[in-house]
Structure 1
Amino acid sequence: MGCIASKQAVSITPALDHHSGAFPDNLSGILASSGRSRAALHDLETTTILKNKNKNKNKNKKNKQKAYSSYGGSSELGESRKERNSNINCGDALSLRLGNLNKYVEGEQVAAGWPQWLSAVAGEAIQGWVPLRADSFEKLEKIGQGTYSNVFRAQELETGKIVALKKVRFDNFEPESVRFMAREIMILRRLDHPNIVKLEGLITSRLSCSIYLVFEYMEHDLAGLSSSPDIKFSESQVKCYMQQLLSGLEHCHSRGVMHRDIKGSNLLINNDGILKMADFGLANFVSTGRQQLTSRVVTLWYRPPELLLGSTDYGAAVDLWSVGCVFAELFLGKPLLQGRTEVNNLLNYSCSNST
């Protein structure tokens, strides 16, 4: 008994790679060098401000009984004009030094081969990496297409390794478009789990207006296997896949990440029966409650009721609804809720719930 690994209905040993313990936060290590520099500058300027405050406080100790400063509040809690000027000067110096640091980091990234438009907007996403060369890979065939991307099966020429190349389409003259793409990269670099597809690098150049994400190659996806007339999942096989999906999802949520598009076509399977979550293009960090999120996420048939009703305040639970839909689909051999619109899907949910 085990997870089906191909459309020829070959059974293999279940790939129940149990995961325990915390993984290191790759992103924090990647950003450590620039983070320490920024922290050092902040500490230096904070010390200067405190010294100036103490000096001026002792000098003006006899004048503490003045009623109100020009900015409101008693003079004991307020600042003298000299103190305010001192703080403004220190703040300007801090901004100037941080700006110089940003320019220095950006210059380093451009020197490493990253295009300036990418470094200027998404410097944190590529920090510590060097771009891969396009001529190091040979495209073999197109294997997928999304709204903003195409996916190709390719071969690394030096090693012969098969990889998946995701070509992202965006307008590099629109900073918001670049930031959207950078968020996916940052999230993938933060995650490290055997049931989450691994981002191995990025392909771009100073002269290029496109970018490729390089992933490990997976032979199948769960939607393709479940829709095959030759395949009928057994109970043990469903358990095998669900265990891996929930393990990967638990890691995402423990890192504060919502996938927001769990469905069979985004769950990849290799010939060893290992399942990996993929396509984090709609993923985002869990909201702190102050940020409104869009409800236009999650493919319609896997979208939970709160999103169908337009909620902009939600959490990681939206992924669990999608997992439940995938779970039912594996048993039924077809999607559970196949509404054509949000209202239609809500009605389907109500009918299914009443029965």
Structure 2
Amino acid sequence: MPIIDPVDLAARLISVSSVTPASGAVFDVLDEALGSLGFAIHRFTLGEAPDGPTENMVAIRDRGPGPHVGFAGHLDVVPAGEGWQGDAFTARIEDGRLIGRGANDMKSAIAAAVAAVSGIDQSNGTLSFLITGDEEGYATYGTPRIIDWLNERTIRPDMILIGEPTSETRLGDTVKIGRRGSLNFWIKTKGIQGHVAYPHKADNPVPRLARIVAALSALHLDDGTDAFPPSNLEFVALGTPTAASNLIPGEASAQGNIRFNNLHSGEQLIGLLTETAQAIDPTCELRTRISGEAFLTPPGRLYDLVTEAIREECGIAPALSTGGGTSDGRFLIKLCPVVDFGLPNASMHKVGESAAVGDIEGLARIYRRVFEGGLKA
């Protein structure tokens, strides 16, 4: 079997545009690499716009009885944005860094995992790759559908390593052992449009919306826990349909998000939003979408494998964190213990996104240690 160069594979993945939701050519590149390593490849595409079509891949290399170690990741990326020096989807190396959209989040980690398994003499157990084309979006047809596929075939990994970029200032300094939940919400207050000089003939919805925003912003959700930071509610957009200075709008809207720890559930927070908003305006409209519940992986073998691999490769003990954004671990925790670990994340989603070549190579060596340790009965 060939030995895969993680930087070369990362560059080839980056050089295929795969803005979320992704399907097609970028999966072909990964298919070829994993197929050359003896993995059985299963690909399926689901859904329609706007949440699809989304392609998913389950690649399995089964060597008989023994543990099943999974690696999860996503090939979709956020849009490139303006301001790149060169094409965001043409990978290049400058000053020891691989540059391109997805270099940090998270095509390089997938390439590092493939390189890691290419160097393993797997005589027992199972290795699998659970790769989605929709993690950056709503994941409607992404990882949850991979879980369905596994459950239909009674395939269950014993542990899953997720390649999200979790390190902060240097490779190996931070491992994510859980994630906060995420709840998106949209509020609309209705009124009667009219001329600002005749307010008695109109009904201005803006003041009611402002009171709702103030009330929700003033909520104290919690003080955090030993494992999680405090939950936080943030408004991200306010608006009305008109920009005219002499027109009272007929409606006003606001959008927000709650990142919450495991002291709450999404449904409980929806109840709190509803109660608070309707106490001010019983006719307001509230729409919500739970992106994921909070989760925490309890200490166990996966913790030990990852932290020991980092100590051996980097010479440091990683911090175990639940901060930052969410990941597909919110779904995969239903199968088995999960841990997120990957590259330093300073450039993810930014113009000029990049990853140090040395870090990509080091990540492949860490992943190899984890996979080899995980396959031992």
TM value normalised by structure 2: 0.27
Higher strand share: 2
TM value normalised by structure 1: 0.28
Larger Rg, first or second structure (1 or 2): 1
